[in-house]
Amino acid sequence: MSLLHDLALQRLFGGLILVLIVATLTGRVIARRTHDERALATVRNLNARINAWWVMSVVFAISVLIGPIGAVILFGLISFLALREFITLVPTRPADHRALLWSFFLITPLQYLLVAIHWYGLFSILIPVYAFLFLALRIALSGDTTNFLERVSAIQWALMICVYSLSYAPALLGLGIRGHGMPGPTLLLFLVIVVQGSDVLQYIFGKLFGRRKIAPHVSPNKTVEGFVGGVAAATLLGALLWWATPFAIWQAGLQALVIALTGFAGGLVMSAIKRDRGVKDFGTIIAGHGGILDRVDSLTFAAPIFFHVTRFFYGA
Amino acid sequence: MIASILATAAQIVAGSTVRWVGCAPTEEQRIYIANHSSHLDFIVLWSYLPSWLRRRTRPVAARDYWERDGVRRYLAAHVFNAVLIDRTAAQGTAPGQLGRQAVDQMVEALSGQHSLILFPEGTRGAGEGVATFRSGLFYLCQAKPDVEVVPVYLDNLNRILPKGHLLPVPMLSRITFGTPLRLQPDESKDAFLERARQSIRTLKEAA
């Protein structure tokens, strides 16, 4: 449990708890002062979200403090549940059953096993190369060619987004940084705090100042004001967390900007998928938030980009 | 003990969102009728009933399937307390006698406190539509006109475990309980069966 003695981690988690306490108290105060029926619904949803944040933060903190294997198992479970939500919405046919069994019970665990043993050379191509080709073959062998391309692509997409992309978050634990060894947990925390912080800040700026819709057909709740304010604030947040990372303050700010922008892109693309499938949320597992995939949508884009940008510029 | 383990396992596999839109779970005696497209149907529907309701609800199931081996026979008799009915006639049985026997068994099961889970399509479909209902439901309601029939729509279970497969793909599913219906005094057999079938199809479209 040497991570318990890591000063940077202590401070990051301490800060997180402080923010949650402030959020909880603010939520209570707003709830007491709100009497309008419609506003009250928003406030209830806000408080449900804050409560869920407590649970998610505790689960995340425990898994990170357990050590690398804890984070790998946590993200493996998140991937499994996200894949479940994704596949539920896509038009597969009975003939795809075997391919789906492979995806859930072999490819997903294998990807996380490779991440756990830091086998970069294989985990970075397992799904885009091997699973990509194998699934197409497996479904062709099933003999049902109705909407073949659509079905194959949907399953490949599900694996790329829910498993491959997300697995880059725990993969940070095995990333060597020039002059810093393997600062894994702090990199992972930096990514998760900035990407989720950016989501929350965009939500807050949107609720407070939101006027012009940024993508009315895809995600009616996203506004220009929320986007600009949230991304700027998340960039500042990232810069202010530089001391925990291997980055200089301006580098941390730039990294946070990249994380916030890619995170926004992820949220937008996943919204487009939900719109297409005619649902509001991917699931109902997290009160106030929707499904697992609704909570990690921004991470699916931010994690692989952050990993590769960091690896390119700072990798040992 | 076995019942609650099985129920939890079924809930994990099926990941259902349960909605009681047309009624609430009560101790009142009822006949739950649902669409049938997967081997999971009965156990998942059963597992998502509140545990006190589960204990007083008996599934109506096919004897030839549930008596095929020792495990299934044990589960049917001691865990699910199933009402097992014959689908295949022994030699020399008069036509129609099987159906009458099955109805008699169900009526007898309803003479106690128990509710029933029934799949009136009689067999598993491909999951696209709801097939026409067998007449047993009508004769059962004729014998027990006071018992409410609750339509239930099971969504996506046929994708989790399609016909002909052994391992489930753990997708999410939905269970919707609709508005109860009763056999009207002068309602014909075909009209009632069609009305019952439509009540499930409506839930499908609303789902």
**A-B Cβ pairs (cutoff 8 Å, strict):** 29
Do the Cβ atoms of B167 and A101 come within 8 Å?
Answer: yes
Report the residue of chain B nearest A96, measured CA to CA: B159
| A100/B169 Cβ within 8 A | yes
Closest-CA residue to A294 (of A81, A110, A97): A81
pLDDT tens string B191-202: 999 999 999 999
pLDDT of residue A283: 87
In the block, tokens 């396992």 appear at B9
Q: Which candidate in B18, B159, B165 is best for mutational testing of the A interface (most A CBs within 10 A)?
A: B159
> Cβ separation of B159 and A92 shorter than 8 Å?
yes
Q: Please, what's the b/e burial string for A273-286 (b: 16 or more CB within 10 A of its CB; e: otherwise)?
A: bbeeeeeeebbebb
- In the block, tokens 């980055």 appear at A247
Q: Residue B62: in which H helix or E strand, if any?
A: strand B57-62
Dihedrals φ, ψ of B151, to 5°? -75, 140
Of B158, B162, B170, the CB nearest to A104: B170
Q: Do the beta carbons of residue B58 and residue B83 sit within 8 Å?
A: yes
Per the CB < 8 Å rule, is A94 touching B171? no
Optimal mutation site among A85, A100, A142, interface B, most CBs of chain B within 10 A: A100
Q: pLDDT digits over B23-55, tens only?
A: 999 989 999 999 998 989 999 999 999 999 999
B170 with A92: Cβ contact below 8 A: no
With CB atoms and an 8 Å threshold, state whether B162 touches A101.
Answer: no
Residues ≥6 apart with Cβ < 8 Å to A34: A40, A43
Average pLDDT, chain B: 90
Helix, strand, coil content of chain B in percent (nearest 5): 40, 20, 40
For residue A94, list chain B residues with Cβ-Cβ distance below 8 A. Answer: 126, 158-159, 162-163
Joined together, the tokens standing for residue A283 give 């699931």
Q: Which domains does chain B have, with CATH numbers?
A: 2-206 (3.40.1130.10)
Q: Which one, of A96, A204, A220, lies nearest residue A156 by Cα?
A: A96
The answer, yes or no, to whether residue A85 has pLDDT greater than 90, is: yes
CB contact under 8 A, B172 and A88: yes
Band of residue A286 on the pLDDT scale cut at 50, 70, 90? confident
CA distances from A313 to A192, A253, B156 (A): 20, 15, 46
- Closest Cα in chain A, distance from residue B16 (Å): 10
> Min CA distance, A232 vs chain B (Å)?
37
Q: How far apart are the first and last CA of chain A?
A: 26
Say whether A88 and B165 touch across the interface (CB within 8 A). Answer: no
DSSP letter, residue B79? I
Taken in order A197, A201, A203, A204, the sign of the CA dihedral is positive
C-alpha B56/C-alpha A140 separation (Å) is 47
Q: How many residues does chain A have?
A: 316
In chain A, which residues have their Cβ closer than 8 Å to the Cβ of B173?
88
pLDDT digits (tens, 9 = 90+) for B57-116: 999 998 888 888 999 999 999 999 999 988 776 666 676 777 888 899 999 999 888 999
Task: Check whether A1 has a pLDDT greater than 60.
Answer: no
Residue in B17, B162, B171 closest to A87 by CB: B171
Evaluate whether B22 touches B149 at the Cβ level (below 8 Å): no
Instruction: Give residue A201's pLDDT.
Output: 95
Asked if B75 and B60 count as a contact pair (C-beta separation under 8 A), the reply is no
What does pLDDT average to over chain A?
93
pLDDT given for residue A228 in this prediction: 96
Is residue A3 very low, low, confident or very high in pLDDT (cuts 50, 70, 90)? low
Please state, in angstroms and rounded to a whole number, the distance separating the CA atoms of residues A311 and A305: 10
pTM: 0.91
Would strands B115-118 and B173-177 be described as parallel, antiparallel, or unpaired?
unpaired
Query: Under 8 Å CB-to-CB from B183, ≥6 apart: which residues?
Result: B138, B141, B142, B145, B149, B192
**Residue A2's pLDDT band (boundaries 50, 70, 90)?**
low
Residue whose C-alpha is closest to residue B22's, from B153, B154, B180: B180
Structural contact between residues A177 and A316, judged by C-beta atoms closer than 8 angstroms: yes
Q: Tell me how many degrees the CA angle A157-A163-A168 measures, rounded to the nearest 5.
A: 120
A181-210 pLDDT tens trace: 888 889 999 999 999 999 999 999 999 998
Q: What percentage of chain A carries pLDDT values higher than 70?
A: 98
Q: Output Rg (C-alpha) for chain B, integer angstroms.
A: 16
- Asked if the model's pLDDT at residue A93 lies above 60, the reply is yes
Q: Inform me whether the pLDDT recorded for A302 exceeds 90.
A: yes
pLDDT exceeds 90 at position A7: no
The angle at the Cα of A214, spanning A210 to A215, to the nearest 5 degrees, equals: 130
Chain A CB contacts of B167 under 8 Å are: 101, 105
The predicted structure's pLDDT at residue A180: 86
A120-145 b/e with 16+ CB inside 10 Å = b? beebbebbeeebbebbbebbeebeee
**pLDDT (0 to 100) of residue B206:** 74
B contact set with A (CB within 8 A): 15, 17, 126, 156, 158-159, 162-163, 165, 167, 169-173
Among B128, B169, B175, B176, pick the best mutation site for testing chain A contact (most A Cβ within 10 A): B169
Q: Please answer whether residues B33 and B119 qualify as being in contact, where contact means their C-beta atoms are separated by less than 8 angstroms.
A: yes
Pairing of strands B173-177, B148-155: antiparallel
**Residues of chain A contacting B, Cβ within 8 Å:** 84-85, 87-88, 92, 94, 97, 100-101, 104-105, 283-284
